Structure 1
Amino acid sequence: MPSRTERIVNPYTIRMGCSGGMDTRDLRAFCATIDYGGLSEAARRCGTTQPTISRQVQRLEREFGAELLRRDRRGAHPTEAGEKLLEFARRTLADYDALRHASPTPTRSLAGTVKIIASTTPGEYLVPRLAARFTTQHPQVNIEEAITDSAGVASRLRSRRWHVGFTGADPDTERLTAEPVGQDEIVLAVAPSHPLASRSALTTDALAGQRMILREHGSGTLRIFKQALADRGLALPLERSPVLTLGSTHAVLAAVEADRGIGVVSARALEHHQPRARALRIAGAPIMRSLYLLHEPARRLPPHVKAFIDAALESGRGRPSSHNPSH
């Protein structure tokens, strides 16, 4: 009987998009962790987050019932079981990539509905572009989208009423994988008539006493903005400022245009409201975030949904999709 580590050399356990076994993304995350010496650098090179890479490696360790990585001050190194997996993973991924690029373009059309749950920024400014491009290529596919806040995307996706989610914050949840599909900057927004509108950058002290127009508590935009300030040793002076809390980005920008205060919004959203509102930035480096596609790797999805996910991920990497819908 083969040992747990000997099972690694069986190529038929690779999921390649079907249910059961491993996932090629998990294998790529494991290889990157070894190649770049640790989770954080692997995440940076792969354009994702450290929690996502960690979850992918942990899934492999559960699959084989063995520790695959050993960590010390010099970085991450494969264990004996990890060495066997690494050899297999490199060979399998190379063969898989070669097969994908050599496959002929299929003629079978896709049909069905892709159900998307998204937070405000990606839902209003990223998903429509992805959906338009995909449905142009696959006219028999329909897109159904609902908007909620970032905190609600993961919980609704786990209900399995929705196929795929988009959010401006990695939910760091075990069952879901978050993969980056875009970048966004978070900025301050003011009306052209606002006293601070002539400035290009502000200190947080300059915001004291100014009315702040913010999204609700579950907003990823607000959470990431506050965390970015905290990472710099700063904070919004909310105890010294009146606050107007609104339930959508459109509402925040409408209040900004009416010169009711200073909004915290996505730069993608603000682009559609210029010149009625203009962007200001906190002094220092821009506050950037990734926009994520969320999906459940263990869930069996219909071909048209898998094709949409592949197309969105390929678009996020800056190249057109090569998905084969006959698979």
Structure 2
Amino acid sequence: MDTSELRAFCAAVSAGSLSAAARQLGISQPGLSRRVQRLEDELGVTLVIRGAGGIRLTHAGQRFLTFATRTLAEYDAIRAEARFPAGAMTGTIGIVASTTPGEYLVPELVARFVDEQPGVKTREFVTDSAGVARHLLHNDRWDVGFSGRRVNHPRLCYEPIGQDEIVLAAPSSHPLAERSAVAVDDLAGQRLIQREEGSGTQQTFVDTLAAHGLAVPPQPAAITLGSSGAVLSAVEAGLGIGVVSLRAVEHHASQVRALRVVGVPVVRSLYVVHVTDRDHPAHVRAFVEFVLDVGRGRDDAG
């Protein structure tokens, strides 16, 4: 029994399903299922009942949830105190992030770190993946970056901290919304709402299709927008089908449906980024270490 298994179990209970928990942790669903199964095998009991509508706790699972929650809270507190005494650090961290991690990952990470180190403040800016690299390299007020795409540069270090799935987003009233997956040919004649050049979301989608010998068929003039939120607002207004992170769609689930491309999983890594030759102060180094610790907890242990 280890903390990654306890976190997988708690995430599954919180999310209500193994698939949703896997997306939150940035690991594969089979990987998360194996972690929960290992707990059940070690304990010799069934913790969750798996069904088409999600999971539900058994009586043993309810008792174990109390133990797992308390154990993780105590473990995290001890680890944080051992790493840096609570409240010992002060300073400001300049964080520049691309849209998906900036909107759906960084806020949680910052909240958790600042809870440990309330003397630390953050300054945050959201741009695209190319902009993350540019700001880190040319403006030293930015200390740490988060990006969905690597930009090759000898002074930049990209370290993976999780995975992200790119999907198509359709209005819930759209005929294609009745499906969970579509063929690329189904997009013929559909207006595509896409991200700007430099967006990791857009580039990952295009590159993955190309790697499978596919391309989006001819369509009415595409709409190009600068953020996932803007894309989803346009989708909700019925202007077309968007290309966005699944994390973004999950925040608009009542009005937007996620569509995968048949046979083409579009998955990328999310990265924390820093400049290798810059002498960062202790509170910045501590934040990067904290983020990497969280990322290691999301790694698929198999």
Is TM-score (shorter-chain normalized) higher than 0.5? Answer: yes
Decide whether aligned partners of structure 1 residues 105 and 128 sit closer, same or farther in structure 2, where only a CA change above 3 A counts.
closer
What letter corresponds to residue 301 of structure 1 in structure 2? H
For 1:245 and 1:297, how far apart are their aligned partners in 2? Answer: 34
After superposition, the C-alpha distances for 1:136-177 in whole angstroms (9 at most, x for unaligned) are: 000010111001111111011012220011110011211100
Structure 2 residue matching 1:130: 3-state secondary structure: helix
Q: Is the 8 A contact 1:181 1:290 kept in 2?
A: yes
Say if 2:159 and 2:273, in contact at 8 Å, map to a contact too. yes
Q: CA deviation at 1:104?
A: 5.2
- Match of residue 217 from structure 1: 197
In the alignment, structure 2 segments of 5+ residues that lack a partner are 1-25, 27-78
Which one of 295, 305, 315 corresponds to residue 294 of structure 2? 315
Distance 1:228 1:273 in 2: 25
User: Measured at CA, do residues 205 and 137 of structure 1 come closer, stay the same or move farther in structure 2, by a change above 3 Å?
Assistant: same
C-alpha distance in structure 2 between counterparts of 1:242 and 1:197, whole Å: 21
- 1:248 positional shift: 1.3
Kindly indicate whether residue 136 of structure 2 is the aligned counterpart of residue 138 of structure 1.
no
Measure the CA separation in 2 of the matches of 1:230 and 1:265.
17
182, 189, 194: which one aligns with 1:202: 182
Contact 2:97–2:146, Cα closer than 8 Å, also in 1: yes
1:264 aligns with 2:239: no
- Percent identity between matched residues is 55
| Partner Cα separation in structure 1 for residue 225 and residue 84 of structure 2 | 47
SS in 2 for 1:135: helix
Q: Does 1:148 align with 2:127?
A: yes
The structure-2 alpha-carbon separation of the partners of 1:213 and 1:288, relative to structure 1 and needing over 3 Å to count, comes to same
Where does residue 110 of structure 1 map in the other structure? 89
Secondary structure of the 2:165 match is strand
Please tell me whether Structure 1 or Structure 2 has the larger radius of gyration of its CA atoms: 1
Q: Relative CO higher for 1 or 2, CA cutoff 8 Å, sep ≥ 6? A: 2
Say if 1:272 and 1:151 are closer, same or farther in 2 by CA, change over 3 A: same
Match of 2:169 among 165, 184, 189: 189
Q: 1:80-99, aligned counterparts within 5 Å?
A: none
Residues 184, 215 of structure 2: 8 Å contact kept: yes
What TM-score results when the alignment is normalised by the length of structure 1?
A: 0.64
Cα shift at 1:285: 4.0
Q: 1:291: Cα distance to partner? A: 0.5
Distance 1:263-1:105 versus aligned 2 partners, 3 A rule: closer
User: Are the aligned partners of 2:208 and 2:264 in contact in 1 as well (CA < 8 Å)?
Assistant: no
The one-letter amino acid of 1:261's match is G
Distance 2:201 2:263 in 1: 18
Count of matched residue positions in the alignment of Structure 1 and Structure 2? 218
Shift of 1:106: 4.8
Residue 297 of structure 1: aligned partner:
276
- Deviation of 1:105 after TM superposition, in Å, equals 5.2
User: Using a 3 Å threshold, how does the CA distance of structure 1 residues 196 and 105 change in structure 2: closer, same or farther?
Assistant: closer
Within a 5 Å distance, the mapping from 1:1-327 to structure 2 comes to 106-107=84-85, 109-159=88-138, 160-237=140-217, 239-318=218-297
- For residue 240 of structure 1, give the secondary structure of its aligned residue in structure 2: coil
TM-superposed CA distance for 1:302, in Å, is 0.5
Q: Structure 2 CA distance, aligned partners of 1:297 and 1:251?
A: 34
**Counterpart of 1:294 in 2: which secondary structure?**
strand
Moved over 4 A (4+): 103-106
Question: What corresponds to 2:12 in structure 1?
Answer: none
Question: What is the TM-score with the length of structure 2 in the denominator?
Answer: 0.69
Structure 1, unpaired ranges of 5+: 1-46, 48-100, 320-327
- Asked whether the 8 Å contact 1:209–1:242 carries over to 2, the reply is no
